[in-house]
Amino acid sequence: MRNVTRFLPVVALLAACADGASTAPPAASVPTPPSADPWAAVRARVSSVPVANLVVIVGDRSGRLLTIERGMLSTQSPLRIASVSKWLSGYGIYALTEQGRMSLADRPQRYLPFWTQDASDLRARVTLESLLTFTSGFNYPPDDAGCLQDPMTTVQQCAQSFHQRGAGTEPGSAYFYGDAHLQIAGAMVERATGQEWRTFFATEVAPRIGLTATQFSLPSQRNPRVAAGAVSTVNDMETFLRRLLRGELVRDLEAYRRERTAAATFLSTVTPLQVRRLDWRYGLGFWRECDDATWNPRCASSMVLSSPGGFGSTPWISFDEGYYAMIAMDEQVVAGEPASVASVRLEQALQPLISAALATLRR
């Protein structure tokens, strides 16, 4: 069949010449090959992760570009986001400072009647900024067996419990990854707004962002962990990431995004950074990422924000590349390592692949 087709134009041309015609027949159309999938490398890398239920999304300022859903987990599934909550809480509190209702320089004793007024006491020198940046001196680990795991207490009582236990370092001098800082900040917010934390988030923060399925309810609604107690969905988190990327949620994006722990000694950090030996810095409830072994001027000029969670969910925004992405799962262990470590490992592997896909799409 191939040989016959090859000679048809020649036969037709001879026939035309014999009839005295001078017009050549139209050229045969050549089928256009289907374009290659720019996300093929991303899909392949995600497919190698041994997790039954997994979601990965990527988008830019215009909206969603890629969705990968596996197993029973979808972009609409309720999801325990653990320390991803820190980013939402930090934003909600920062929004109050932009509204002039609180200040990063505020001290707990302005709002909390039980807080010490003694200027010689470390606790009296704590500021809202030191609480949001985990440099307040309340150096208690995330798995602390105290009030954070007690569903019967309240945010106010939990903050008072930490106050009684005391601070260990000068506020602003040392970074310690733990949940006590934000529980105290949450207690301050409750007094400043006259609302319990869960109500404040539901009536002020969620509508401001455009969230419809996010609430703080773990371990209870009376005492939600401000740093790790939210239940959300990928769709809700995408709304937050996309609007933050667009600059729609804060007036001063430069001030909001900057890292704030350059002068602090790191006493404790999140597990993925310890295992993978990453030298990231902290902002207001989020990490400023660095791909180098130690923080340096190149890292300072890079603008990638993230907030990995203990069950393996990791959202991030690359302001440099102009995209957001999220890995979502609800696991304890993945391939023999903590889910948070596996998630950050996947995030780091996906970043250059996403950059390459975007470069292809934007040609």
- Could you read off the pLDDT of 66-97 as tens digits, one per residue? 999 999 999 999 999 999 999 999 999 999 99
Task: Give the pTM.
Answer: 0.89
Asked whether residue 156 is assigned to any structural domain, the reply reads yes
Asked whether residue 35 is assigned to any structural domain, the reply reads no
- Alpha helices (runs of H) in the chain, residue ranges in sequence order: 2-18, 40-47, 85-98, 128-132, 155-165, 180-193, 197-200, 206-209, 234-245, 253-257, 271-276, 297-301, 339-361
Asked whether residue 266 is assigned to any structural domain, the reply reads yes
Asked whether residue 28 is assigned to any structural domain, the reply reads no
Closest to 321 in 3D by CA, of 309, 334, 335, 303 = 303
List the domain range (segments joined by +) for residue 115: 40-361
Asked whether residue 345 is assigned to any structural domain, the reply reads yes
Find the CATH number of the domain harbouring 199.
3.40.710.10
Residue-level pLDDT at 276: 83
Asked whether residue 181 is assigned to any structural domain, the reply reads yes
Residue-level pLDDT at 272: 86
With 0-12 / 13-18 / 19 or more C-beta atoms within 10 angstroms meaning exposed / middle / buried, residue 113 is: exposed
Residue-level pLDDT at 86: 98
**Could you list the pLDDT tens digit for every one of the 363 residues in the chain?**
434 333 333 333 333 333 444 444 455 554 545 568 999 999 999 999 999 999 999 999 999 999 999 999 999 999 999 999 999 999 999 999 999 999 999 999 999 999 999 999 999 999 999 999 999 999 999 999 899 999 999 999 999 999 999 999 999 999 999 999 999 999 999 999 999 999 999 999 999 999 999 999 999 999 999 999 999 999 999 999 999 999 999 999 999 999 999 999 999 998 888 888 889 999 999 999 998 888 998 899 999 999 999 999 999 999 999 999 999 999 999 999 999 999 999 999 999 999 999 999 998
For the chain, the domain total comes to: 1
Other C-beta atoms closer than 10 Å to the C-beta of 192 total 17
Asked whether residue 10 is assigned to any structural domain, the reply reads no
State the Cα–Cα distance between residues 150 and 223, nearest whole angstrom.
7
In angstroms, what CA-CA distances link 104 with 100, 133, 136, 252, 317? 10, 11, 12, 14, 24
Residue-level pLDDT at 221: 96
Asked whether residue 30 is assigned to any structural domain, the reply reads no
Model confidence over 85-137: pLDDT tens digits? 999 999 999 999 999 999 999 999 999 999 999 999 999 999 999 999 999 99
Residue-level pLDDT at 155: 98
